[in-house]
Amino acid sequence: MIEQRVLDAVSAERLHDLLDNLARFGPGERGGMNRQALSEEDFQARAWLIDKARQLGCQVWTDGCANLFIRREGREDLPPVMTGSHIDTQPTGGRLDGCYGVMAGMECLYSLEEAGIRTLRPIEVVVWTNEEGSRFSPGAMGSSAYVEPARLEAYRSHRDAAGISLGEALDLHSRRFADLPLRARIDAHAFVELHIEQGPVLEQAGIPLGVVVGIQGVRWYQVVCSGASAHAGTTPMSMRRDAMLLAIETVQRIDALANLIAGDEKRLTFGRWNVSPNVINTIANEATFSIDFRHADPAVLAAFDDGIAACLPADAQLQRLFSHASTEFCPAVVAVLEQACDATGLQRLSIRSGAFHDAMYLAGHCPTGMLFVPSRDGISHNPLEFTEPAQLEAGTRALAWALVSLAEQP
Amino acid sequence: MIEQRVLDAVSAERLHDLLDNLARFGPGERGGMNRQALSEEDFQARAWLIDKARQLGCQVWTDGCANLFIRREGREDLPPVMTGSHIDTQPTGGRLDGCYGVMAGMECLYSLEEAGIRTLRPIEVVVWTNEEGSRFSPGAMGSSAYVEPARLEAYRSHRDAAGISLGEALDLHSRRFADLPLRARIDAHAFVELHIEQGPVLEQAGIPLGVVVGIQGVRWYQVVCSGASAHAGTTPMSMRRDAMLLAIETVQRIDALANLIAGDEKRLTFGRWNVSPNVINTIANEATFSIDFRHADPAVLAAFDDGIAACLPADAQLQRLFSHASTEFCPAVVAVLEQACDATGLQRLSIRSGAFHDAMYLAGHCPTGMLFVPSRDGISHNPLEFTEPAQLEAGTRALAWALVSLAEQP
């Protein structure tokens, strides 16, 4: 089987060389990365990558959102199999989040060359712009605008912390890479994204490969609890309206709701807090907190939306910040990814992603799936982000198998 | 009785004129005050007050901490009866906190003049420096240093937010008021402080006068709960160490402890919070909160100190920030203040102060007591601070009665 020949051609040395080379652009704190989308560091990384791609005989395009498409032609001009991820990082990010998926895709192209195999369908490695959302909000802009090009016009006015708009940054990219041809959205046969898990599940299970069945839906809310600021010494408890105590009670009711509707599957986080006036000897007159609730089942997400208002006391206001439906990946792609993992001879786990990925948007465009490798201690968005080299290699081998298998589908 | 003659001589018009005049120095936001200790505004207010005092034939001294002593001589050179409070304010303070006690004291001197009465003992109106603690920490520095002069040397090195030391500010005061003679601590027959309640008790009881029996003791702690920062989407609940949830559980155990040992008398506030990294989709790795616990009974304060460690989980650290014993005022002074209130013909309530006052330190030096008038909605440290004019007058009438009564004691 040619899938196995390409899998066997994957070189751990070449993969780590690619990752090391990419990490030269935008070194960050404590050995981590800081490569913001469309920054000079990003441009340098792109220039290096385009050069590599052309050396491999690939054609390279960009589009209106600066997504990068590196195409290895197939035997026929059919809709391609796409793979890839992103190369922008968090301000104190690691070397693997996003980058791993792109470099593993490149390594698959090298392996195809080395194995002397030309697939039926073209294979494209894609770099999606601004997945992290740390420079321009929201994240996954590139894949979102690719799937729904009408979104780009609004995105162009979004500004970074320095006041530079996405439009200005994209125009800079156009001038910098004036030789890159533009290409509009094309039909794709499939999209596969390889990524680090960014969570502890694979590591704790002791399993090196995860086949992702979907991405949890998410609800972001903000709750503002109002009280009355008063002196901590002079105000008897019965005469208080302590906004922070109100917030704590509200958190507990929301937690009970989530337990009721989601049980052990609950993922509920109260991550952001703001207490006012935030003084030791003054009762809080306002306490604001965020809710991040995720679940795979649209019915559970809807039940959360329906139930949350009843958790709030009279002196609280609810604001819906963001919501995204859950994503189910294509069963046929998932099946290929399972076979690909089996072809490595290693164990695989069926897993659901709690984090967003570009694959979330691509799933609305073409048959899509994802592969995960473990994250040590579940850590990402951090210089300590780490995956065992052997696991990075195993993920790339599975990816190679899957890409070839999909690219041979008529 | 001469007490009643002086009480009857109290002029609401003169009192409000004094308060209005003082409020010219350091106007703040929304009709409130911002007169920081030893600021130019404070100096101008002092100059105006010294001028008033001298017009009244009083002698004026200062001391090493810029406390101001305005003395109306008695028939004999006995230890004086002192009254007073402070004229510094919070940055967004009101017109009454502290200022009322000083202006009411001045009005008593006017009333004595008008009634043509010279008391046996001298009566002194005192302005204590930096009671609020908003410019230099800690608060009630002036009264603290007066009672325990050895403290001043350490205080002199404390700096405000602009880096100016108390010592430099005091030296500026010395140069500005070079004509004021210095006076060391003297024996006092009694100290009485009239103040707004800064709480809701009198207002809610519908009673215009409060005789303060003491000041609650206080414990300030800080608790740092540690967890592990992780992705809100990718980390199953069972694998989390959410510092904020840990903090909420800890708050509830501390609340239960306070209920157990203090019951309805509990005054417990978790006013200051800091959550890190404070991001919607990241589990908190650290949550820090403050505890303000107050009680009149030293045994209850000790039980809180003894019990708090057992409320903390393993991943929490406790830091003791501040503590002050409870204060019991002198029963003989309290009895005089009760008679004084009765002399106004109005109702009085026995009350315990939850806020600190200069009287807390003076109680360690001489027989001491306090009178409260109501605070509308319990509000202070706020431009909305307000007491009905008739209540301000009633408090001053009671003060006048009490000062004369104490000053006639042999």
> Taking CA atoms, what residue in A is nearest to B232?
A269
The C-alpha atoms of residue B102 and residue B53 are separated, in whole angstroms, by: 12
Nearest to B198 among A231, A271, A355 (CB): A231
For residue A231, the chain B residues in CB contact (below 8 A) are 198-199, 354-355, 378, 380-381
The C-alpha atoms of residue B398 and residue B392 are separated, in whole angstroms, by: 10
Tokens of A61: 């395009």
Nearest to A355 among B200, B233, B280 (CB): B233
pLDDT of A18 over the 90 cut? yes
Segment A195-222 shows an average pLDDT of: 97
For residue B294, the chain A residues in CB contact (below 8 A) are 232-233
Question: Is A251 in Cβ contact with B271 (below 8 Å)?
Answer: no
Question: Backbone phi, then psi, for B346, in 5-degree steps?
Answer: -105, 165
Q: How far apart are the first and last CA of chain B?
A: 16
Tokens of A187: 């039909």
- For residue A179, give the nearest of A39, A41, A46 by alpha carbon: A46
- For residue A233, give the nearest of A280, A289, A271 by alpha carbon: A280
For residue A355, the chain B residues in CB contact (below 8 A) are 231, 233-234
Q: Taking phi first (over 0 means left), then psi (-120 to 50 degrees means alpha), and beta for anything else, what does residue B375 get?
A: beta
Question: Is A242 in Cβ contact with B267 (below 8 Å)?
Answer: no
Nearest to B232 among A242, A281, A292 (CB): A292
User: What DSSP assignment string belongs to B93-152?
Assistant: B-SSTTHHHHHHHHHHHHHHHHHT---SS-EEEEE-S--S-SSSSSSSHHHHHHHSTTHH
- For residue B303, give the nearest of B343, B272, B341, B262 by alpha carbon: B262
Lowest mean per-residue pLDDT among A244-253, A275-284, B289-298: A275-284
- For residue B324, give the nearest of B217, B215, B221 by alpha carbon: B217
Beta strands in A95-147 (DSSP E): 123-127
Segment A361-375 shows an average pLDDT of: 98
Q: Provide the β-strand partners of residue A324.
A: A218
* Chain A nearest CA to B261, separation (Å): 15
Question: Is A378 in Cβ contact with B220 (below 8 Å)?
Answer: no
For residue B380, the chain A residues in CB contact (below 8 A) are 231, 234
* Chain A nearest CA to B410, separation (Å): 36
The C-alpha atoms of residue B219 and residue B302 are separated, in whole angstroms, by: 10
CB neighbourhood size of B71 (10 A): 20
Give B357: exposed, middle or buried? Use CB within 10 Å, 0-12, 13-18, 19+: buried
Q: Which of A203, A231, A319, A372 to mutate to probe the B interface, most B CBs <10 Å?
A: A231
Question: Is A197 in Cβ contact with B271 (below 8 Å)?
Answer: no
pLDDT tens profile B353-362:
999 999 999 9
For residue B238, the chain A residues in CB contact (below 8 A) are 264
Q: Provide the β-strand partners of residue A355.
A: none
Long-range contacts of B303-312 (CB under 8 A, 24+ apart): B303/B261, B304/B219, B304/B257, B304/B258, B304/B261, B304/B262, B305/B219, B307/B257, B307/B260, B307/B261, B308/B221, B308/B254, B308/B257, B310/B257, B311/B250, B311/B253, B311/B254, B311/B256, B311/B257, B312/B223, B312/B250, B312/B253
H-run or E-run covering B201: helix B201-205
Question: Backbone phi, then psi, for A279, in 5-degree steps?
Answer: -130, 140
CB neighbourhood size of B367 (10 A): 21
Question: Is B269 in Cβ contact with A242 (below 8 Å)?
Answer: yes
Spatial contact of B70 and B77, defined as CB atoms under 8 Å apart: no
With a cut of 0.90, is the ipTM above it?
no
Which residues, including other chains, have CB under 8 Å from residue A31's CB and lie 6 or more apart?
Answer: A383
> Taking CA atoms, what residue in A is nearest to B259?
A237
- For residue B194, give the nearest of B406, B357, B26 by alpha carbon: B357
* Chain B nearest CA to A92, separation (Å): 12
* Chain A nearest CA to B292, separation (Å): 6
Question: Is A234 in Cβ contact with B198 (below 8 Å)?
Answer: yes
Question: Is B236 in Cβ contact with A199 (below 8 Å)?
Answer: yes
The C-alpha atoms of residue A373 and residue A196 are separated, in whole angstroms, by: 5
- For residue A200, give the nearest of A393, A357, A379 by alpha carbon: A379
* Chain B nearest CA to A74, separation (Å): 36
Question: Is A353 in Cβ contact with B233 (below 8 Å)?
Answer: yes
- For residue A199, give the nearest of B225, B245, B283 by alpha carbon: B283
Segment B369-394 shows an average pLDDT of: 95
pLDDT tens profile B176-206:
999 999 999 999 999 999 999 999 999 999 9
Spatial contact of A20 and A132, defined as CB atoms under 8 Å apart: no
For residue B244, the chain A residues in CB contact (below 8 A) are 270-271, 273
Question: Is B245 in Cβ contact with A200 (below 8 Å)?
Answer: no
Tokens 């195999």 correspond to what residue? A117
The chain-wide mean pLDDT, for chain A, equals: 96
Nearest to B280 among A248, A252, A271 (CB): A271
Question: pTM for the whole thing?
Answer: 0.86
Q: What is the pLDDT of residue B229?
A: 87
Q: What is the pLDDT of residue A381?
A: 87
> Taking CA atoms, what residue in B is nearest to A205?
B239
The chain-wide mean pLDDT, for chain B, equals: 96
Which residues, including other chains, have CB under 8 Å from residue A1's CB and lie 6 or more apart?
Answer: none
Cα B237 to the center of its chain, rounded Å: 47
Q: What is the pLDDT of residue A352?
A: 96
Question: Is A231 in Cβ contact with B378 (below 8 Å)?
Answer: yes
pLDDT tens profile A297-334:
999 999 999 999 999 999 999 999 999 999 999 999 99
* Chain A nearest CA to B285, separation (Å): 10
For residue B241, the chain A residues in CB contact (below 8 A) are none
Spatial contact of B229 and B282, defined as CB atoms under 8 Å apart: yes
pLDDT tens profile A115-156:
999 999 999 999 999 999 989 989 999 999 999 999 999 999
* Chain A nearest CA to B273, separation (Å): 6
pLDDT of A243 over the 90 cut? yes
Q: What is the pLDDT of residue B275?
A: 96
Tokens of A368: 């899509």
CA distances from A184 to A67, A69, A299 (A): 11, 11, 36
Q: Report all structural domains of chain A as residue ranges with CATH numbers, in order of start.
A: 2-215+327-407 (3.40.630.10), 217-324 (3.30.70.360)
Question: Is A271 in Cβ contact with B282 (below 8 Å)?
Answer: yes
pLDDT tens profile B270-306:
999 999 989 898 899 999 999 999 999 999 999 999 9
Question: Is B294 in Cβ contact with A220 (below 8 Å)?
Answer: no
Which residues, including other chains, have CB under 8 Å from residue B345's CB and lie 6 or more apart?
Answer: none
pLDDT of B257 over the 90 cut? yes
Question: Is A251 in Cβ contact with B248 (below 8 Å)?
Answer: yes
The reply to whether omega before B374 is within 30° of 0 (cis) is no
pLDDT tens profile B316-344:
999 999 999 999 999 999 999 999 999 99
Q: What is the pLDDT of residue B92?
A: 86
Question: Backbone phi, then psi, for B210, in 5-degree steps?
Answer: -120, 130
Q: What is the pLDDT of residue A316?
A: 96
Question: Is A355 in Cβ contact with B294 (below 8 Å)?
Answer: no
Nearest to B201 among A198, A236, A321 (CB): A236
The C-alpha atoms of residue B269 and residue B291 are separated, in whole angstroms, by: 6
* Chain A nearest CA to B158, separation (Å): 20
